[in-house]
Amino acid sequence: MKLRKLEISEFKNLRNFAIEFEQTLTTVLLGQNGTGKSNLLEALIIIFRDLDLGDKPMFKYKLDYECRGNEIHVDADPARQNRSQQVRITVHSGDEMPRVVPYSQFHGDSERYYLPSYVFGYYSGPSNRMEKHFDKHQDRFYRDLLKGEERPLRPLLYARPVHSQFALLSFFTEEEQSLEEGEQSILEFLDELLGIQKLISVLFIMSSWSPARLPLRNCAGTDASESARHTGVCQHKDAGTSLSLFARRKGPQEVVRIL
């Protein structure tokens, strides 16, 4: 998917705003504080959130983007009286004539023919201004889990700081024996770049836990449901869920709590 052009009538400090995106893989926004860089990113998140859910647009905008060989134009205006006309979508594919796609068909397409597979968000600022716009997809994902329904990853995914710990933990799931000739091992990679030489232990603190439904496993892959009560690998805590990851770095017996 590639963004082409965005016009916003009014969203926060973006008024009569227009931007054309460079046709490169990565777009970098540069500007002084208060010029609207974060507001532009927030507006894009809101736009694709509402398009994915089929919700009423929050503000008036026009968006052009390319997705799976389709040139898509979205003309949204919440002030239009007819709900079906609040979001007007035109699709142009190859040599075909541009065609109008009803909003219900646009967001209800299970194959996501017109929408990006994923919108991934991360914000290093102190507020939750970005994260809150991912809440609807997060809630829907959790409800499906509680009902036992397995679905693909949610299309809008926000990366919290704790996710970086899971990313680091995932490095230790690879089998060193599966390396191809000349390929650098995971442990060599972590040692060279981060100075991490060994995974010592992982501590999960869960808000609720039933051994019958959620057996724990230690790093070796063996069942740890019974020993967890005595070793501290897992503890019950009503305050919430967290992850503590301990790894051995370079130096004599230096153990670092990464989270």
Tell me the C-alpha distance between 21 and 71, whole Å. Answer: 14
Coil, helix or strand at residue 7 = strand
Element (DSSP H or E) covering residue 93: strand 87-93
What pLDDT, on a 0 to 100 scale, did the predictor assign at position 223? 43
Tell me the C-alpha distance between 243 and 205, whole Å. Answer: 6
What pLDDT, on a 0 to 100 scale, did the predictor assign at position 150? 76
In Å, the largest CA–CA distance within the chain is 70
**Domains of the chain, each with CATH number or no CATH:** 2-158 (3.40.50.300), 162-257 (no CATH)
For the chain, helix (H) and strand (E) counts, in that order, are 6, 12
Does the reported pTM lie above 0.85?
no
Tell me the C-alpha distance between 197 and 199, whole Å. Answer: 7
Tell me the C-alpha distance between 190 and 235, whole Å. Answer: 28
Q: Which residue has the tokens 């949610």?
A: 154
Tell me the C-alpha distance between 50 and 58, whole Å. Answer: 8
HSE of 235 in the Cβ direction (CA atoms, 13 Å)?
12
Contact 180, 192 (CB under 8 A): no
- pLDDT tens string, the chain, 259 residues long: the values are 899 999 999 999 999 999 999 888 788 889 998 899 999 999 999 999 999 999 999 999 999 999 999 999 999 999 998 988 999 999 999 889 999 999 988 987 778 889 999 998 988 777 888 999 999 998 888 888 888 887 767 889 898 877 878 888 888 776 666 667 777 788 888 888 888 888 888 877 766 655 555 444 444 444 444 433 333 333 333 334 455 555 555 554 444 444 4
